[in-house]
């Protein structure tokens, strides 16, 4: 279900809070620690935000910290509510005041989320968050967005929830006037909605998720003015995207492959064309080289890349982002088996004409993407992104974050910086010439193989395989392998990379 965060307003700290006594608001106050006197015994930092909160509440709330031994340590929080107070208060600890400016943005989101999770949803219908009361803090937009996302996440419910909650949240952000921009609120709401769409698609149970689920999600974007083209003709896919077809051939009868294209064209001049290619493997059984137990579990999430690109383009269209033309591409298919499914030791053609030796039927994502990037390139983008739950190797290398690779380090570094500012944590991996050498096929009649030989560079050899599909090898391509972070440890979708990509497009 869409998130229940329904509206966001800004308020200047010079104005008093309007408090509805029938609906007691929750005041969210950031707290930092002071470690200057004694690093081993930090105390809470008396900040302008805290002073402002005490003035509004008319109650020396800080004293309660001592009672509870709360000092504002990172990840800790304190919920204070009593009948004498006109508001309840949630203090959110962000740790050492002196390290305030080095705090990674995703850790801000994490701290807010953790703190909110300690409060019952029904207490959260009216939220007032003190972002900052001084005019100098450039981080205000960054902080606001992370808080908005944390609140949005808190209210997110899957479509499968038995008793959807009735609560709706209304959020007021206290920032100084200079930073109080309704644009941030609008961007925040669009981000929350986009993340909810991505999570809904990924969380959908395996037995009801098909290529049609992605087709339907794409078609519903037409309402936003996006152009949606669905290639349903399997014969077209077979002749034009033969390597992608190879993955789909095991389910042609039950759930045939679909090639989905969603296009956003802004009004006015265009400075940049961006292609977003999302791995859209509906369910990855591994194929004939079947995944052993328990590795097949969570493979309903193997279409996270596709869900990501649909949700990003939804937000781009909602926000009517100017100057950037964006196209999302999804080569959607399950990786399943029937008597016609792909066999290891096959040699198949690709959109680019390179011949591929299939060594492993479970390395299917790259088979779909090598053709997808080649097709995307035909629309002449300036920059191509691939977003994929591609390799266990990336998950082992970087854990629950994005493994970031590219054939163009300038673009890669630019993306990493922006993504970080928007709350997505990326770690860079270099692709070497050796990675291209490693995927050369030893068979007559094949150019490349889909596994490589180097045991510990699986993420990079997979990336080099995808790059081999480009007609112009210098076309900038940024590859996000999100296999480690697409789901939480309790198997819930995370909407990884949505904020980073949306932020990047927004900043162009």
Residue pointed to by tokens 């939480």: 488
Residue 360: name its binding partner from ligand BES, Zn ion, none (Cβ under 5 to 8 Å by kind).
Answer: ligand BES
Q: How many CB atoms lie within 10 A of CB 297?
A: 11
Per-residue contact string for residues 253-292; x = within reach of ligand BES by CB under 6 A: -------------------------------x--------
Q: Which residues contact 23 (CB under 8 A, 6 or more apart)?
A: 125, 126
Q: Which is nearer to Zn ion, 39 or 292 (CB)?
A: 292
Q: Which is nearer to ligand BES, 363 or 470 (CB)?
A: 363
Q: Which is nearer to ligand BES, 299 or 315 (CB)?
A: 299
Residue 141: name its binding partner from Zn ion, ligand BES, none (Cβ under 5 to 8 Å by kind).
Answer: none
Q: Which is nearer to Zn ion, 106 or 385 (CB)?
A: 385
Residue 395: name its binding partner from Zn ion, ligand BES, none (Cβ under 5 to 8 Å by kind).
Answer: ligand BES
Q: How many CB atoms lie within 10 A of CB 454?
A: 16
Of residues 71, 65, 75, 77, the one with CA closest to residue 28: 77
Q: How many CA atoms lie within 13 A of 430 on its CB side?
A: 3
| The one among 141, 246, 357, 362 contacting Zn ion by CB under 5 A | 362
- If one asks whether residue 363 binds ligand BES (CB under 6 A), the answer comes out as yes
Q: Which is nearer to ligand BES, 321 or 462 (CB)?
A: 462
Kindly give the pairing relationship between strand 88-96 and strand 77-80: antiparallel
Residue 458: name its binding partner from ligand BES, Zn ion, none (Cβ under 5 to 8 Å by kind).
Answer: ligand BES
Please report how close the Cβ of residue 89 comes to ligand BES at its closest, in angstroms: 40
DSSP string across 155-188? H---TT-SS-----EEEEEE--TTT--HHHHHHH
Indicate which residues carry an active-site annotation.
291, 366
Helix then strand count (H, E) for the chain reads 15, 18
Q: Which is nearer to ligand BES, 56 or 335 (CB)?
A: 335
Instruction: List beta partners, residue 81.
Output: none
Please report how close the Cβ of residue 403 comes to ligand BES at its closest, in angstroms: 11
CB neighbour class for 223 (10 Å; exposed up to 12, middle 13-18, buried from 19): exposed
| The one among 17, 80, 395, 426 contacting ligand BES by CB under 6 A | 395
Please report how close the Cβ of residue 118 comes to ligand BES at its closest, in angstroms: 30
Of residues 471, 472, 449, the one with CA closest to residue 461: 449
Please report how close the Cβ of residue 363 comes to ligand BES at its closest, in angstroms: 4
- If one asks whether residue 306 binds ligand BES (CB under 6 A), the answer comes out as no
- If one asks whether residue 333 binds ligand BES (CB under 6 A), the answer comes out as no
Residue 391: name its binding partner from Zn ion, ligand BES, none (Cβ under 5 to 8 Å by kind).
Answer: ligand BES
Q: Give the C-alpha separation, 458 to 286, whole Å.
A: 16
- If one asks whether residue 365 binds Zn ion (CB under 5 A), the answer comes out as yes
- If one asks whether residue 302 binds Zn ion (CB under 5 A), the answer comes out as yes
Rg (CA), the chain: 24
- If one asks whether residue 49 binds Zn ion (CB under 5 A), the answer comes out as no
Q: Which is nearer to ligand BES, 96 or 302 (CB)?
A: 302
Q: Give the C-alpha separation, 359 to 381, whole Å.
A: 31
- If one asks whether residue 393 binds ligand BES (CB under 6 A), the answer comes out as yes
* Inter-residue contact 100 to 94 (CB < 8 Å): yes
* Inter-residue contact 186 to 171 (CB < 8 Å): no
DSSP conformational letter for 399: S
Beta strands in 103-236 (DSSP E): 126-130, 169-174, 227-231
Instruction: Give, in degrees to the nearest 5, the angle at Cα 49 between 59 and 120.
Output: 70
Please report how close the Cβ of residue 364 comes to Zn ion at its closest, in angstroms: 5
In this structure, the dihedral spanned by the alpha carbons of residues 243, 214, 231 and 258, taken in order and rounded to 10 degrees, is 30
Residue 57: name its binding partner from ligand BES, Zn ion, none (Cβ under 5 to 8 Å by kind).
Answer: none
Please report how close the Cβ of residue 462 comes to ligand BES at its closest, in angstroms: 7
Cis peptide preceding 235, ω within 30 of 0: no
> Which residues, numbered 276-295, are part of the site for Zn ion (CB under 5 A)?
281, 284
Q: Which is nearer to ligand BES, 390 or 505 (CB)?
A: 390
> Which residues, numbered 434-493, are part of the site for ligand BES (CB under 6 A)?
451, 458, 483
Beta strands in 294-360 (DSSP E): 324-335, 347-348, 356-357
- If one asks whether residue 392 binds ligand BES (CB under 6 A), the answer comes out as yes
Contact residues toward ligand BES (CB under 6 A) are 284, 302, 360, 362-365, 389-393, 395, 451, 458, 483
Contact residues toward Zn ion (CB under 5 A) are 281, 284, 302, 362, 364-365
């Amino acid at each position: 279900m869409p998130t229940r965060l329904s509206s966001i307003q800004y308020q200047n700290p010079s104005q008093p809070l309007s408090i509805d006594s029938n609906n007691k608001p929750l005041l969210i106050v950031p707290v930092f620690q002071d470690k200057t006197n004694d690093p081993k015994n930090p105390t809470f930092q008396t900040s302008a935000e805290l002073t402002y909160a005490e003035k509004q509440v008319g109650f020396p709330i800080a004293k309660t910290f001592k009672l509870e031994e709360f000092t504002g340590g990172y990840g800790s929080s304190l919920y204070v509510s009593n009948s004498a107070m006109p508001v309840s208060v949630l203090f959110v600890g962000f740790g050492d005041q002196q390290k305030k400016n080095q705090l990674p943005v995703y850790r801000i989101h994490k701290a807010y989320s953790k703190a909110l999770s300690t409060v019952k949803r029904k207490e959260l219908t009216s939220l007032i968050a003190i972002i900052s009361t001084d005019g100098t803090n450039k981080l205000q937009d960054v902080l606001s967005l992370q808080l908005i996302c944390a609140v949005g996440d808190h209210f997110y419910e899957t479509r499968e929830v038995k008793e959807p909650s009735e609560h709706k949240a209304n959020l007021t952000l206290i920032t100084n006037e200079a930073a109080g921009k309704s644009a941030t609120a609008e961007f925040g709401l669009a981000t929350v909605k986009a993340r909810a769409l991505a999570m809904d698609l990924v969380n959908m149970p395996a037995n009801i998720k098909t290529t049609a689920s992605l087709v339907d999600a794409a078609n519903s974007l037409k309402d936003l003015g996006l152009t949606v083209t669905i290639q349903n003709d399997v014969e077209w896919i077979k002749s034009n995207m033969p390597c992608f077809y190879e993955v789909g051939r095991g389910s042609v009868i039950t759930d045939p492959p679909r090639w989905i294209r969603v296009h956003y064209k802004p009004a006015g001049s265009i400075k940049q064309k961006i292609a977003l290619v999302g791995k859209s493997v509906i369910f990855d059984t591994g194929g004939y080289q079947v995944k052993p137990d328990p590795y097949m579990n969570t493979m309903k999430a193997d279409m996270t890349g596709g869900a990501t690109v649909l949700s990003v383009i939804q937000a781009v269209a909602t926000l009517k982002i100017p100057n950037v033309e964006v196209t999302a591409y999804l080569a959607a298919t399950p990786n399943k088996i029937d008597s016609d499914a792909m066999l290891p030791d096959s040699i198949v053609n690709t959109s680019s004409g390179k011949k591929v030796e299939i060594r492993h039927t479970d390395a299917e994502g790259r088979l779909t993407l090598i053709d997808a990037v080649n097709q995307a390139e035909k629309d002449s983008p300036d920059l191509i992104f691939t977003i994929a739950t591609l390799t266990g190797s990336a998950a082992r290398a970087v854990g629950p974050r994005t493994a970031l690779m590219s054939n163009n380090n300038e673009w890669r570094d630019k993306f990493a910086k922006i993504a970080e500012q928007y709350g997505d944590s990326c770690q860079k991996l270099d692709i070497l010439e050796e990675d291209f050498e490693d995927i050369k096929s030893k068979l007559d009649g094949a150019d490349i193989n889909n596994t490589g030989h180097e045991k510990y560079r699986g993420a990079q050899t997979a990336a080099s395989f995808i790059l081999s599909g480009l007609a112009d090898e210098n076309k900038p391509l940024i590859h996000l392998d999100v296999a480690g972070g697409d789901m939480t440890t309790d198997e819930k979708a995370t909407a990884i990379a949505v904020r980073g990509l949306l932020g990047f497009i927004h900043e162009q």
